[in-house]
């Protein structure tokens, strides 16, 4: 018979999973409610265009991200050249740049009144826009380019790992058969990396589908903005829930494709015995490799950071104000509390999986991690539904008892936004903790038990000291994600409550980023921390 503490841990694990999946259940239930007015109106007018825009945007971002990420991944996986060690992790830096900041920066540069077009008009004596053609940054194509700059590092990281794990014997065989380097890449390396390509593409697709800020800034109507506009514009949670379920079905498709690709990837990896060795480039080839890597990093990260840093310094007196400190404090306290809660809940889930044996051992973990796949706008609606139900039910009960209602104690407070953050980011904590537990051999558990320690003592005296780095990493990653989160904060924040992300986005929307430039550069600098951690993890392997 299992110890009582272990039974309590099992009950706690399933309870956590049930609470975290509750908003999704309410969302699906709400989507089944008939709505003949708003949803049918949207279906008959603009919803088809929203779906088409979403699909086109996803395809465009995936293609551009692959075109940028795959060549760089192959280059850095197979060759060494001046700066290669830096570019191996430096090309991940664009992940720290929020998409709405990139959208604002490139719009400011490339629009008609921006410095690029002004310089061209001066150089070629053009008088008006009709004298020449220039790429319209405020368009679906512009949104695709901006999002690709932010998301291509996912492709770079995943595909580079796949290239590095390929057997050198395959590449040597291609060279012995007289194949050119291009033929070796296109006929051998690329097909072997196909599962990784599918995984990277599906991840980019999901991130594109979830993006709200950039497409909103560019006025590109997608399903994400449709959820936002339907909820706030038409006041219909039911119609917004129906659109949200459509998005979830698309995400389910991407996840399914990714899992299929993972199964195929194991088959390819089984034949790999010796990892490839990098070839040192010299002369023109080395400079070409350096230039290609630097140009991408320059436009995707270095130039935007220089722009923000210069703006923050130039407008420091206006940007460093009471709002910056107040909203920074809000973001800080919210992120710290959410990271601690996620760590505790993640520990409950992971420890249960560690000790529990059976077919259902990993089910609470999978259920609890499902919220990370939900876009922020969808998550906001999903969270609002059960909390509204509880608030109204509690107030109705108090009124029936002849007592005064207590108001919206869940939906009108920080509880709603905190709950949404926990649902979305607990998967990050679970992943970090699970990774730490995978490094602990089961024999250590057996040795501890043979020495007379029960599972609780084993957890406290053996596991916790061994996973403390993973726990710290989990809290730090959740902290940074919470600092950057925008859609859920924008939709669920209490009245007169702002975070740094919502504060910056409002100024971006008003074309006045300079007034929030210090907050913007703070968000970017905070986003660098998990990238540095990721680089250290990769180097330690």
DSSP string, 447-493: HHHHTT--HHHHIIIIIHHHSHHHHHHHHHHHHHHHHH--HHHHHHP
Phi, psi torsion values for 279, nearest 5 degrees: -100, 130
- Of 452 and 52, which is predicted with more confidence? 52
Pick the closest to residue 291 from 30, 514, 83 (CA basis): 83
Q: 504 with 516: CB under 8 angstroms?
A: yes
Residue 422: C-alpha distances to residues 5, 44, 335, 455, 458 (Å): 25, 37, 10, 27, 28
Report the alpha-carbon distance of residue 438 to residue 318 in Å, rounded.
49
Residues 195, 265: contact at Cβ < 8 Å? yes
The pLDDT value recorded for residue 197 is 84
For residue 274, pLDDT beyond 80:
no
Could you write out the DSSP letters of every residue in 304-321?
A: HHHHHHHHHHHTHHHHSS
Q: Is the pLDDT of residue 267 over 60?
A: no
Torsion sign, CA atoms 298, 53, 241, 250 = negative
Give the whole-angstrom CA distance, residue 362 versus residue 471: 20
Alpha-carbon gap, residue 385 to 28, rounded angstroms = 10
pLDDT for res 270: 43
pLDDT band at 454 (very low <50, low <70, confident <90, very high): low
The mean-pLDDT minimum among 85-89, 221-225, 254-258 falls in 254-258
Selected residue with higher pLDDT from 168 and 527? 527
> Is the distance from CB of 159 to CB of 71 less than 8 angstroms?
no
Rg (CA), the chain: 25
Which is it for the CA torsion 244, 335, 158, 225, positive or negative? positive
Which domains does the chain possess? 1-30+337-491 (1.10.3720.10), 33-314 (1.10.3720.10)
pLDDT category, 352, cuts 50, 70, 90?
A: confident
φ, ψ (nearest 5 deg) of residue 153: -60, -30
How would you write 330-398 as a 3-class SS string? HHHHHHHHHHHHHHHHHHHHHHHHHHCCCCCCCHHHHHHHHHHHCCHHHHHHHHHHHHHHHHHHHHHHH
388, with CB counted inside 10 A (0-12, 13-18, 19+), is middle
- Name the strand (E) or helix (H) holding 46: none
Q: Tell me which of 465 and 34 has the higher pLDDT.
A: 34
Hey, how many other C-beta atoms are within 10 angstroms of the C-beta on 397?
Answer: 11
- What was the pLDDT predicted at 238? 85
- Give 439's contacts (C-beta < 8 A, 6+ positions apart): 466
Taking the C-alpha atoms of residue 474 and residue 426, their distance in angstroms, rounded to an integer, is 9
Whether the pLDDT of residue 255 is over 80: the answer is: no
Cα–Cα distance between 320 and 519 in angstroms, integer?
A: 8
| Chain centroid offset of residue 239 CA | 26
pLDDT value, residue 293:
94
Computed over every residue of the chain, the mean pLDDT equals 83
- pTM confidence score: 0.84
| DSSP tag of 105 | H
Residue 244 CB contacts under 8 Å (≥ 6 apart), including other chains: 27, 31, 227, 377, 378, 381, 382
pLDDT tens per residue, range 155-213: 998 888 878 776 666 665 656 666 666 666 666 677 777 777 888 888 898 889 888 88
For 284, other C-beta atoms within 10 Å of its C-beta total 8
Q: Which residues pair with 205 in a beta bridge?
A: none
Return d(Cα 403, Cα 410) in angstroms, integer.
19
Share of the chain above pLDDT 70, in %: 85
Quick check: helix, strand or coil at residue 270? coil
pLDDT tens track for 203-247: 898 889 888 889 988 989 999 888 888 888 887 888 888 888 888
> Are the beta carbons of 168 and 151 closer than 8 angstroms?
no
Distances (CA, A) of 497 to 299, 326, 417: 34, 10, 11
124: how many CB neighbours lie within 10 A of its CB? 9
The DSSP bridge partners found for residue 280 are 80
Consecutive H or E run containing 263: helix 237-269
Q: What is the pLDDT of residue 496?
A: 85
């Amino acid at each position: 018979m299992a110890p009582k503490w272990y039974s309590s841990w099992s009950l706690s694990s399933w309870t956590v999973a049930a609470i975290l999946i509750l908003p999704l259940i309410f969302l699906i239930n709400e989507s089944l409610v008939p709505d003949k007015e708003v949803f049918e109106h949207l279906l008959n007018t603009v919803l088809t265009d929203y779906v088409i825009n979403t699909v086109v945007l996803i395809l465009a971002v995936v293609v551009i991200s692959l075109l940028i990420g795959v060549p760089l991944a192959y280059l850095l996986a197979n060759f060494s050249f001046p700066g290669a060690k830096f570019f191996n992790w430096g090309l991940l830096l664009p992940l720290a740049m929020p998409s709405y900041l990139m959208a604002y920066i490139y719009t400011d540069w490339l629009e008609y009144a921006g410095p690029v077009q002004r310089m061209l008009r001066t150089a070629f004596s053009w008088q008006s826009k009709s004298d020449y053609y220039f790429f319209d940054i405020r368009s679906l194509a512009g949104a695709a380019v901006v999002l690709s700059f932010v998301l291509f590092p996912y492709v770079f990281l995943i595909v580079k790992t796949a290239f590095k794990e390929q057997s050198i014997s395959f590449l040597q065989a291609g060279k012995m058969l007289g194949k050119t380097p291009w033929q070796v890449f296109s006929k051998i390396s690329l097909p072997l990396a196909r599962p990784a390509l599918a995984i990277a593409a599906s991840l980019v697709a999901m991130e594109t589908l979830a993006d709200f800020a950039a497409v909103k800034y560019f006025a590109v109507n997608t399903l994400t903005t449709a959820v936002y506009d339907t909820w706030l514009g038409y006041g219909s949670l039911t119609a917004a829930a129906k659109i949200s379920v459509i998005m979830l079905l698309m995400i389910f498709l991407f996840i399914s494709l990714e899992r299929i690709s993972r199964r195929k990837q194991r088959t390819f990896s089984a034949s790999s015995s010796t990892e490839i060795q990098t070839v040192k480039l010299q002369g023109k080839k080395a400079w070409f490799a350096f230039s290609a890597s630097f140009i991408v990093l320059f436009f995707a990260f270095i130039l935007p950071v220089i722009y923000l840093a210069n703006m923050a310094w130039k407008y420091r007196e206006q940007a460093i104000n009471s709002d910056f400190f107040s909203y920074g404090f809000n973001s800080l306290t919210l992120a710290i509390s959410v990271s601690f809660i996620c760590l505790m809940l993640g520990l409950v889930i992971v420890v249960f999986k560690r000790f529990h044996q059976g077919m259902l051992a990993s089910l609470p973990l999978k259920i609890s991690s499902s919220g990370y796949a939900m876009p922020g706008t969808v998550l906001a609606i999903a969270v609002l539904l059960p909390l509204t139900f509880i608030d109204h039910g509690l107030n109705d009960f108090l009124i029936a008892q002849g007592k005064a209602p207590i108001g919206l104690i869940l939906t009108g407070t920080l509880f709603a936004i905190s709950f949404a953050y926990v649902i979305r980011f607990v998967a990050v904590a679970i992943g970090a903790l699970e990774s730490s537990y995978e490094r602990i051999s089961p024999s250590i558990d057996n040795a501890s038990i043979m020495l007379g320690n029960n599972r609780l003592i084993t957890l406290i005296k053996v596991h916790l000291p061994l996973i403390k780095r993973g726990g710290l990493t989990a809290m730090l990653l959740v902290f940074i994600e919470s600092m950057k989160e925008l859609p859920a904060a924008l939709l669920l924040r209490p009245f007169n409550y702002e975070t740094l992300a919502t504060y910056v986005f409002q100024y971006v929307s008003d074309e006045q980023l300079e007034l929030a430039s210090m907050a913007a550069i703070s968000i970017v600098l905070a986003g660098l921390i998990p990238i540095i951690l990721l680089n250290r993890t990769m180097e330690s392997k």
